[in-house]
Amino acid sequence: MGDLRGKVAVITGAGSGFGREFARHAARQGMALVLVDVQADALGATVAELEAIGAPLMHRRLDVTDGEAMHALAHDAWARYGAVHLLFNNAGVGCTGLVWEASVQDWEWVLGVNLWGTIHGLRAFVPRMLEEARENAGYRAHIVNTASMAGLVDPPLTGPYNVAKHAVVSLAETLHQDLSLVTDRIGCSVLCPSWVGTGIAASDRNRPAAAAAQTRGAAVGRALVEKAVASARLTAAEVARMTFDAIAERRFWILPHPQALDGVRARNEALLAGQAPPDPYAALPQLRGQLVDALRAP
């Protein structure tokens, strides 16, 4: 990608977490920004902060599940800035509970934001990026899809989230393969963090439909997620820095928690051996015991 000064970054989920940190980092690099979030007040806070330091930007309250709105965003970004160089398909939400307890609304919401939001982002922006690459020999671009370690292993009590993030990993790998056939000027990465101090535990604040299920499984899972996020050692700012390093190096995999790869390795070894999936909490027997006790209690 070279020097990012004067180039343009589009960031979904820019109101908090990774999205806000991507925006801060891009602004420090002298980039112009296109910021999107479904939560108006959170987006407004990011916009106000970055406008105060003089970052050129446009912003829009937008639901990434709306494909037409994403296409309109791409059109307007090109009309405003002439090109887009970085695309962060970052918006994400989650819910908890035993997989058979998840409602249709749970599945539609989590898959809609995490997976369909990424699909809409690719469909809206990649064709324009390819056209730009054909017309401008100096054009370079990069796409980052935010997935999760839950896209590489399958912890219990987060079924819709796991499914969505596995799909995002698959989508990113396929994007990498497809782009390699048609251009060497557009790269892509997939970000797979473990627990980081973001607002993912409070996803319900932006839930548009029915309230989340109030089952025992949902409550146990929610407590687990909240504790893990609160105790996370790695910050969203550190993950943003790692992500921009990966962009500069054109690295596909962005894995901020290398210790979590033990679980990926165990899963792959079990797959190759034809064995059942290993327990993601095998190294934390006390935690597994607590979950079993909580879910089997009368």
Q: Which residues pair with 61 in a beta bridge?
A: 37
Q: Please give the single-letter amino acid code of residue 259.
A: Q
**What is d(CA 294, CA 219) in angstroms, rounded to the nearest whole number?**
10
Q: Which residues pair with 9 in a beta bridge?
A: 33, 86
Choose the catalytic residue: 81, 139, 161, 281.
Answer: 161
**What is d(CA 87, CA 151) in angstroms, rounded to the nearest whole number?**
20
Helices (H), 53-116: 67-81, 104-111
- Cα-Cα end-to-end distance for the chain: 58
**What is d(CA 209, CA 281) in angstroms, rounded to the nearest whole number?**
32
**199 close to 136: Cβ distance less than 8 angstroms:** no
Task: Name the phi and psi angles at 148, rounded to 5.
Answer: 180, 160
**59 close to 47: Cβ distance less than 8 angstroms:** yes
User: Is 161 one of the annotated active-site residues of the chain?
Assistant: yes
Q: Which residues are catalytic?
A: 161
